[in-house]
Amino acid sequence: MIPPGKALCAAGIIAGLLAFFWRDTFNPDSISGARVLLTGASTGIGEQMAYHYSRFGAEIVLTARRGTLLQKVMEKCLQLGAKRVFYIQADMSSPQAPEKVVQFALQKLGGLDHLVLNHIGGTPFRMWDGDVEHTRWLMQVNFLSYVALASAALPILAESKGSLIVVSSLTGKISTPFTTSYSATKFALDGFFSSLRHELAMQKQDVCITLCILGLIDTEMALEKTRGKVYMSAYPAAEAALAIIKGGATRAREVFYPWWLELLCCLRDWFPNQRDVVIQSFYNYTSA
């Protein structure tokens, strides 16, 4: 076992290297006129991404389950400076929805430069209760629909040398309590898209895949589910959304928000027993 003193020293060195080598090379002009398909765009992080893309002058197709909310988001996007905005109501629990959404985006925009996969299905924040059917449904929404959307859009992204941006979670890198089914879908995203990144590189296809690993974000849904159950701070959705957009625009391999999650992932396998005790200490079992 590595002595704690050496571990802390190594962690400090890693943090210093991350700070030294990380550069904000984002150029807002690179988004102007970009053709973007954004899923999960009616609320939360997706809504905030829609507003950021609009300020940068993108052309956007928004999609989510609730058409009324999408209409309101679209109207605000136009006010903020989006060159063109369209929306299509779609439920990603339907296997037919991904192809329909991609074809709609191609019809309206004439191509794609950024495909941003952000939608999630609702899931309880509690201990595993044996609900296999819910897990099957969640895999369709959180994983299989991502695969279908990416597959339908890849030929178009290859033509434009575009970016495929996958919004994931720390629970897709490090397992945590009360997120069994959700965590499974996020680990699946990491496995599939990391493998696909290799294959695209081997085939010399210039499509960037950016995997975004987020911590607890202050969306209404996340705060409602974790209230009284998690002892940690939530970070602003608007900042998370901007970090995702910057990562996709600069063709980053991975984006971590907040930044220290990258350090946490680097250290996750050093002291597994102690790590698990620390993780569990952030959760209130009696309220779950």
- Name the residues annotated as catalytic: 182
Residue that is written with structure tokens 């409602």 in the block: 224
Going along 106-217, which residue ranges are E strands?
Answer: 114-117, 163-169, 208-214
Output helix, strand, coil percentages for the chain, rounded to the nearest 5. 55, 15, 30
Residue that is written with structure tokens 């296999």 in the block: 132
Distance CA(190)–CA(213), nearest Å, equals 10
Q: How many whole angstroms from its chain centre is CA 209?
A: 12
Residue that is written with structure tokens 């802390």 in the block: 8
Position 181: which residue type? S
64: enclosing H helix or E strand:
strand 59-64
Distance CA(191)–CA(182), nearest Å, equals 15
**β-strands 208-214, 59-64: how paired?**
unpaired
Residue that is written with structure tokens 């990144």 in the block: 197
Distance CA(175)–CA(18), nearest Å, equals 24
